[in-house]
Chains A and B, each alone.
Chain A
């Protein structure tokens, strides 16, 4: 497909999007090789639970044994941020993947078939969009079991309506095109027209939104687990690691920045991960929106 080739060439040309690709690539390497970079101690069990070095409250400074130091409760920060990369990818990709699929199914049904089906689907999206997203997600996580899966379910529930609407709008735009008429005239089924003709021509705005949203979803998930919702204690998750530092923002009076590592390191991982996706999404938008690119 020439569209994709064109896209790749454009991405490589723009320094900002190139930076985004490199950042995501580095994180992907970290996620894939997590067991080599931060090996799970023998006999530890679930690798996603951060190993503890004792139960002492005070965070320990970075040392040879703990390159990024430890948090309160002696969770190893280095291990946590490395394995947390996997959690971040999982949340971002699974949530956005499922949301795009739901959006494509409901959005194209609503846009292509119209009538009562359209009306019902759109009124349901209205209900979900009536809530500020993070607040609805918070309410949903609260009534579920504390786990990363609950966070993902909550974020799927709050995110699908925007995708359904976006795809519906784009399908509505291409529905009246001649090539759709033509394939309908040739006797193609509704499903075939949607999948083979309408969707491929209406999908680009969704790609932009999805790439921008992976960052946003990871941010929301981190915010929820920072609040103490979702991931169980000790789970390798950047938001929770940051929350462990909340009681240690201010060090002893002689050395107020003593626990800087516990406060800053997990947050920097979140920042760069989200930044990578946003840089990429921003570049996607310039490429796909010729109206903006021309200026």
Chain B
């Protein structure tokens, strides 16, 4: 099967999944009465008197499938309801909080991938030596760590004991004034990137200082995961015939490991990038809350504790769509990286 046909088939397969996801999310809202559901769209106390009108407009007293149809078409038009915690439409809230989260992901992802791959291949290359045992214990301890607790302990040490050397929030007071001033052009709302584009050194340094702890907290579990996976994948690859050939023709051990074993061992790591994405998505909710790093995770956690149902469901839907998309891209990349993968599972 051609790659293009494969992609089309995979995209078509997404339709039932996305249909199910939306029915499920909508089904959750159906646990509430029409009046409660109408209040998800209410923007101010004044509008509370318009509840019957809202019920009428969105057809909230109609049969399930009719309501579902209205709801989905609203979602396609970007209307996910009103976020009461931040006083703006849910859709706008997602877009205004996303850059902060993207910034965390931009720093965390390369750390997870590079550290995980490096540590994992080191452990495999020194199997059953001290490095390997240490990495095993570190990995198990790593994914036993409650990340919210790790974040608090890091704050206690680096914000409390070391007198605010690594503080919470995204920028200190002075730098937020700079960033919000007229001279500072906000191209992306990603602080580090904007600072570079504005050639503003102090803002860049301050933004980086605020990123160290959240990025560490966010990466640690995924690093442990990738490290263990890389180790076993590397061990498998080291047992293959081509490694024997490479060693037999007298290549240096370093070349054998780096060029022959590691490249082939990377393939299974690519297949789990979906899991890493899910780990980041789950992780930002906790991490951003602890460090008051105001991204979508922080916003969703605020919404959840204050029963802002429209925001929580909008956030869940947004993440599901993103996650499904990431998995699609991973599957497509996988066929490019490993030509041995048979597309569509049909004999060619």
Residues of chain A at the chain B interface (Cβ within 8 Å): 16, 123-124, 126-128, 130-136, 138-143, 215-216, 219, 222-223, 226-229, 239, 242-243, 245-246, 249-251, 256-257, 260, 263-264, 266-267, 270-271, 274-275, 278-279, 282, 292, 295
Tell me what chain A mostly uses at the interface: helix, strand, loop, or mixed: helix
List residues of chain A with CB within 8 A of the CB of B242: none
CB atoms of B323 and A132 under 8 A apart: yes
Chain A: CB-nearest residue to B155:
A249
Give Cα distance in the complex from A133 to B277, angstroms.
12
Q: Which chain A residues border B24 with CB–CB below 8 Å?
A: 127-128
Please name all residues of chain A whose beta carbon is closer than 8 Å to the beta carbon of B152 when the two chains form the complex: 242, 245-246, 249, 263, 267
Instruction: Find A222's partner among B32, B146, B153, B301 (CB 8 Å cutoff).
Output: B146
Q: Across the interface, do A132 and B319 meet the contact criterion of CB distance under 8 Å?
A: yes
Looking at the complex, which of B177-185, B186-194, B280-288, B335-343 is the stretch in contact with chain A? B280-288
Q: CB distance B146 to A227 under 8 Å?
A: no
Contact B304 A227 (CB under 8 A): yes
A186 to B227, CA, bound (A): 49
Select which of A130, A142, A263 is within 8 A of B153 by beta carbon.
A263
The answer to whether B48 has its CB under 8 Å from any CB of chain A is: no
Q: Once bound together, how far apart are the Cα atoms of A282 and B138, in whole Å? A: 13
Check B345 for interface membership: any CB of A closer than 8 A.
Answer: no
Taking a contact as CB atoms closer than 8 A, the residue among B305, B316, B324 that contacts A136 in the complex is B316
> Is B159 in contact with A142, judged by CB distance below 8 angstroms?
no
Query: Any chain A CB within 8 A of the CB of B17?
Result: yes
Instruction: Check B156–A229 contact: CB distance below 8 A.
Output: no
A139 → chain B closest CB, angstroms: 4
Quick check: B232 and A139 within 8 Å, CB to CB? no
Q: Which of A226, A270, A274 has the most CB of B within 10 A?
A: A226
Q: CB-CB < 8 A to B282: which residues of A?
A: 132-135
A226 touches B144 (CB 8 A): no
Knowing A136-B316, A226-B286 touch, does A295 contact B305 (C-beta < 8 A)?
A: no
A123–B161 touching, CB < 8 Å: no
Question: Contacting chain A: which of B57-65, B98-106, B307-315?
Answer: B307-315
A231 to B37, CA, bound (A): 25
Contact yes or no, B161 A256, CB < 8 A: yes
Q: Which of B131-177 contact A (CB under 8 A)?
A: 136-137, 140-141, 143-150, 152-153, 155-156, 159-161, 163
Given A130-B324, A134-B285, A135-B285, is A257 in contact with B161 using a C-beta cutoff of 8 Å?
yes
Contact of A271 among B20, B25, B136, B146 (CB under 8 A): B146
Q: Is the Cβ of A223 less than 8 Å from the Cβ of B146?
A: yes
User: Which listed residue, B25, B143, B286, B316, touches A227 by the CB 8 Å rule?
Assistant: B286
| B281 and A260 form a contact (CB under 8 A) | no
Given contacts A123-B20, A134-B285, 8 further A-B contacts (CB under 8 A): A126-B16, A127-B17, A130-B18, A132-B319, A132-B323, A133-B278, A242-B148, A243-B148
